[in-house]
Amino acid sequence: MPAQKGKDLLLKLDDGTGAFVSVAGLRARQITFNSEAVDVTSADSAGRWRELLAGAAVRRAAVTGAGVFRDEAADALVRQTLFDDAIRTWQVIIPSFGIVQGPFHIASLDYRGDHAGEVTFDLALESAGALTFTAI
């Protein structure tokens, strides 16, 4: 895969009608996938080497982003999702790679602003169920 522009990685939220809307002009963003192993080591393990249970790992994804909300409606949608403690469907569009889609919980939403600049935000999402991947 050739190098891609970071600005092309998009974060979209289901607006409640099944339509996905871009929520922000993200200046920095990251998606992390983890697989937490299940340790089944016991005193009977051969040579006392650690043993892991195949196929039992707990998978999760975390998305972080920072930037400027696209408009007041996008800000309100994300903020209301946080205040409602709702788990909503999000899309992370990775250019020339694919779309990661599924339920996410807003772990944090921070606002900040400089005296002579725009209000910006930091957003952290945690996966809350099975995710799908669709190749582009």
Give yes or no for residue 48 having a pLDDT over 70.
yes
Reported CATH class of domain 6-34+61-135:
mainly beta
- Cα-based distances in Å from 30 to 10, 13, 62: 10, 16, 8
Q: What is the pLDDT of residues 79-119, one digit of tens each?
A: 999 999 999 999 988 888 899 999 999 999 999 988 888 88
Would you place residue 7 in the very low, low, confident or very high pLDDT band (cuts 50, 70, 90)? low
Predicted pLDDT at 26: 74
Domain locations along the chain? 6-34+61-135
